[in-house]
Structure 1
Amino acid sequence: MPSRRALLSAIGTAASVGTAGCVGRIRRELVGYTPIEDPCDNPTGTWPTAGGDPGRTGRADTAPPAPDAAAVDLLAAARDDGQQQHASTLPVVADGTAYIPVTGGLVAVDLDAPMNGPIWDRDLDNGITAVPVLACGAVFAPGMNQLAALDRASGERYWRADAVSHHRNDATAAALDDTIYVAGFSPAAVDIRTGTVQWLEGAGGTLALDDDGVYTTRSDSQISGIFAYDLNGEERWRISGEFVGSASVLNGMVWVADYRGTASAIDARTGEVYWSRSLSGVSKVDSGLAVAGDEVFVPAGTGTTSVALDATTGEIRWAVDTGIVTGRPVVGDDWVAFGRTNDGVSVYDRSTGEERTTWSRAEHHLGTIDGVVPVKEGFVIREGSSSGLSLLR
């Protein structure tokens, strides 16, 4: 059987092709097309996609900020026609640089010198609707009409592809090997180097990946559930339900929470549900979960309580009163952080749930907290009420 790369390359020479089965429409944009030739080694100090990795585990290998950390406005020197730009989503980070979606485009900012202004600033005519993806020396920007591939160092465009992200959810794109997957009305698989697109039949407002499959969630008036596909787009299984946030995938298991606050563990290969647990104080988890080792961390969503569960059994290990948490948790070696929407960012002991440190909104002059990205000895915080972006370090 040919590889996904070979398949995509072979079909990419046609402008538009209709086929039967899982492939619906295939097209490659040729205007301004430049292939990506950089090596695909992982950059250092990286948070390359929403949730930190294609499985959306929320796992960080960095340390949290010091208790006396200060907050700096990352976009204070990023201006457009004299007006400060605002973050439309969380950024991605590599080698000390944050790649930040702003109104109408993307900017690259040095985390050590944000007041010097952007390293580069690129206008994108279709905007960015989701967290970008870093891979192969490029940054990929999911938009309402196209997926744009830009050079990480300069912001120059490689190619644009007809992979459409209509859903304003952070976790709509992720890369695996030589392919980037984009959720939209249907999932799309795009060759990283050439921009060749294979449209797949299916459902997907969010997606997560492992080495063996693509896991999407969707909840709207037409279809709702969690769906599993192999890497060629063939559906394996589906489970109905009001799933909005993305799944988390690790070691052959899928964890997901529904709109009512029920968390479930599912066999990634077969779709067998190992356990489901209704969690008091958890509601409308739009952001998704985090998982590390044998623990699953469920944010409160629009509820009041965030919970740590045994990943294997679903038993509650601890629960804390966080208030509303609309962003995905971030998990370190022995800590877990929640962006508490109305209160601040708090770090808890991963084993016991004991609170270690809180950086309050009032003290650090933050807006409502929409999400957190870990960086070296710090956090980048998106402020939902103001669309601001602060570095806490």
Structure 2
Amino acid sequence: MDTTLFAFTVETGKERWRTTLEGPGPAPTLGGGRLVVATENGLEAYDAASGEHSWTIESPSAGIFDSPPVIADETVYIYGGAGVSAFALADGSLQWRVPIGLTSNSAPAVVDDTLYVAGDDTYLRALSTDDGSERWRQKTTAHITCNVAVAEETVYAGSESGTVLACDRADGTKRWQYRLPTEEKRQQTPQTIATDGARVYVTTDDVLYALDSKTGQPCWTIDTHRGRYSSTIAVGDGTLFVPTGESDSTAASSAGTVYDAANGTRLRGFATDIPYGFDGGPSVAGGAVYTNGRAALRRYSGADTGAVE
């Protein structure tokens, strides 16, 4: 099934351009004036202003690009084909590739000159952004099932055994690990992780957890929207934005909830007219929340009502 990629003007919401992609894939990434997205055919880049196609990298012979791309310092990093690759943002030329082993849907993270990646081989790794050489690795308890998050001097990841792991960013030393409790005799598995430096926010299918970033001990939990917490979450300005299906408007077919990041208090809902829910996002930037659905990208007010702008 094809997917349409849209670009809208932030101030007005007016459509600027659209293009058709081959099949659904991970969420696109914006950086350096280009929008980079993984599709069934490979990795594609578009001019963010005009929508003009810039370049395409065919899918690796060993499979497809599995994770969302990450852009830093004019370079695109992505997991796929049992390895990690770095491409020049300008023209898509290969800078380096490191075979790691198994595939992964886990989005990597870049801080300074280090790329942090996690995969189905149970290892969390730190690689040099210059050439992909390994700086350290830390074995986890099982396959890593969610994205990697970094704040200050700590790297966070979660495995399918239900363990959330915190490692020192410099050398990979384990700082703490926390095993999520079982719910109705079923082990809760981390689906996505976000952090603001004070707390680590972890979603499973049924529960939203906030853990102390220094100790890993629970600060608060929410299970109001069981079965709806597996999508990406975002944190910014002391608030947490979570797609939950809840809305302050009964007419909305899919929406999310805004929580106080410190104590988990519900602040408000935000509504959308997207009929199939959220496929990517949310992300927080410039006082607004951005998310995309099966057929559109939407911008919401981040500070007050949460209404579609």
TM-score interval for Structure 1 and Structure 2 normalised by the shorter chain: 0.7 to 0.9
Go from structure 1 to structure 2 and tell me whether the alpha carbon gap of 1:358 and 1:155 turns closer, same or farther (over 3 Å shift). closer
Which is worse superposed, 335-344 or 160-169? 160-169
User: How far did residue 365 of structure 1 move?
Assistant: 7.8
Out of 239, 260, 264, the residue aligned to residue 353 of structure 1 is: 264
Aligned amino acid, residue 265 of structure 1? A
Q: In structure 2, what is the equivalent of residue 70 of structure 1? A: none
Q: TM-score, normalised by structure 1?
A: 0.62
Q: In structure 1, what is the equivalent of residue 91 of structure 2? A: 194
**Counterparts of 1:277 and 1:353 in 2: how far apart (Å)?**
19
**Counterparts of 2:223 and 2:282 in 1: how far apart (Å)?**
18
The answer as to whether partners of 2:69 and 2:78 remain within 8 angstroms in 1 is yes
User: How far did residue 375 of structure 1 move?
Assistant: 5.7
The answer as to whether partners of 2:66 and 2:80 remain within 8 angstroms in 1 is no
Deviations, residues 365-389 of structure 1 (Å, cap 9, x unaligned): 8655555334655544445xx6665
Helix, strand or coil at the partner of 1:277: strand
Q: In structure 1, what is the equivalent of residue 237 of structure 2? A: 333
Q: In structure 2, what is the equivalent of residue 320 of structure 1? A: 222
Task: Tell me if 1:239 matches 2:139.
Answer: yes
User: How far did residue 292 of structure 1 move?
Assistant: 0.7
User: How far did residue 160 of structure 1 move?
Assistant: 2.3
Go from structure 1 to structure 2 and tell me whether the alpha carbon gap of 1:121 and 1:229 turns closer, same or farther (over 3 Å shift). same
Helix, strand or coil at the partner of 2:243: strand
Out of 288, 309, 326, the residue aligned to residue 211 of structure 2 is: 309
Identity score, percent: 22
Aligned residues: 277
Go from structure 1 to structure 2 and tell me whether the alpha carbon gap of 1:347 and 1:123 turns closer, same or farther (over 3 Å shift). closer
Go from structure 1 to structure 2 and tell me whether the alpha carbon gap of 1:382 and 1:158 turns closer, same or farther (over 3 Å shift). closer
Task: Tell me if 1:210 matches 2:111.
Answer: yes
Deviations, residues 61-94 of structure 1 (Å, cap 9, x unaligned): xxxxxxxxxxxxxxxxxxxxxxxxxxx9xxxxxx
Aligned amino acid, residue 357 of structure 1? R
Helix, strand or coil at the partner of 2:263: coil
User: How far did residue 306 of structure 1 move?
Assistant: 1.2
Q: TM-score, normalised by structure 2?
A: 0.77
**Counterparts of 1:328 and 1:338 in 2: how far apart (Å)?**
7
User: How far did residue 131 of structure 1 move?
Assistant: 1.7
Q: In structure 2, what is the equivalent of residue 51 of structure 1? A: none
Task: Tell me if 1:269 matches 2:269.
Answer: no
User: How far did residue 250 of structure 1 move?
Assistant: 2.2
User: How far did residue 177 of structure 1 move?
Assistant: 0.7
Q: Which runs of 5+ in 1 are unaligned?
A: 1-87, 89-102
**Bigger strand share:** 2
Query: Which structure 1 residue ranges, 4+ long, deviate > 3 Å from structure 2?
Result: 111-114, 162-165, 341-344, 364-371, 373-383, 386-392
Out of 280, 296, 303, the residue aligned to residue 200 of structure 2 is: 296
The answer as to whether partners of 2:229 and 2:242 remain within 8 angstroms in 1 is yes
Q: Which runs of 5+ in 2 are unaligned?
A: 248-254, 300-306
Q: In structure 2, what is the equivalent of residue 252 of structure 1? A: 153
Aligned amino acid, residue 302 of structure 1? D
User: How far did residue 254 of structure 1 move?
Assistant: 0.7
The answer as to whether partners of 1:163 and 1:188 remain within 8 angstroms in 2 is no
Name which one, 1 or 2, has greater alpha-carbon Rg: 1
**Structure with larger RCO (C-alpha < 8 A, sep 6+):** 1
**Counterparts of 1:313 and 1:178 in 2: how far apart (Å)?**
35
**Counterparts of 1:381 and 1:104 in 2: how far apart (Å)?**
15
What's the Cα RMSD here?
Answer: 2.9
The answer as to whether partners of 1:129 and 1:166 remain within 8 angstroms in 2 is no
Helix, strand or coil at the partner of 2:167: strand
Q: In structure 2, what is the equivalent of residue 230 of structure 1? A: 128
